[in-house]
Amino acid sequence: SKPIVAIVGRPNVGKSTLFNQIGKKRVSIVEDIPGVTRDRIYLDAEWLNTEFTMIDTGGIELETTDHILTSMRHQANLAIEEADVVVFVVDAKTGMTAADEEVAHILRTSKKPILLAVNKVDSPNKENEIYEFYNLGLGDPIPISASNALNLGDLLDQVVENF
């Protein structure tokens, strides 16, 4: 079966926007799991003739908790379990947060390849906004703008290199 790429990150960092930019078509809807909101989370995608399946872990909201950290720990663990490559999305506009550090910590303990995408870098002269994210200990941050479709090719090159 195809490699699986999971997208993880805080609410509002732009996961769904990225997911929709990359995805080709809807493939399925998450099973009806009690306590879990149904959302479109699986999508077929292709880059350089390599097909893969993407999961938007942000589409899985635990109804029983309003705590972002609990939900994010769940997302991160799900991603580590299911994915061949994890894309951790952070937000250049809000900067690094405690929740980002917590998720980075969980992701660093996994043996899966983790790519760090800094979203909302909407123009090339904003690329200095990525530097603080080196502190997450996940390697070189990749600046992207999901809404403006900037640098998504660089991100996808690195995704498929890690299959």
Binding map of ligand GDP across residues 92-121, x = CB under 6 A, - = no contact: ---------------------------xx-
Q: Residue 13 interacts with ligand GDP (CB under 6 A)?
A: yes
Among 11, 124, 139, 153, binds ligand GDP (CB under 6 A): 11
Radius of gyration of the chain (CA): 15
Query: In this structure, what DSSP letter does residue 38 have?
Result: -
Q: Are 162 and 85 in contact (CB under 8 A)?
A: yes
CB of 84 to Mg ion, least distance (A): 21
Among 8, 72, 104, 146, binds ligand GDP (CB under 6 A): 146
Task: Give the position of tokens 């705590």.
Answer: 67
Residue 15 marked as a ligand binder: yes
CB of 1 to ligand GDP, least distance (A): 25
Whose Cβ is closer to ligand GDP: residue 53's or residue 75's?
A: 75
CA separation for the pair 97, 95 (Å, rounded)? 6
Nearest Cα neighbor of 42 from 73, 71, 78, 90 is: 78
Q: Residue 53 interacts with Mg ion (CB under 5 A)?
A: no
Q: Residue 58 interacts with Mg ion (CB under 5 A)?
A: yes
Q: Are 119 and 130 in contact (CB under 8 A)?
A: no
Q: Are 100 and 138 in contact (CB under 8 A)?
A: no
Among 23, 58, 141, 143, binds ligand GDP (CB under 6 A): 58
CB of 111 to ligand GDP, least distance (A): 25
Angstrom CA distances, 85 to 113, 121, 122, 128, 132, stand at 5, 22, 25, 26, 23
| Residues in binding site for GTP | 9-16, 56-60, 119-122
Q: Which residues bind ligand GDP (CB under 6 A)?
A: 9, 11-17, 58, 119-120, 122, 145-148
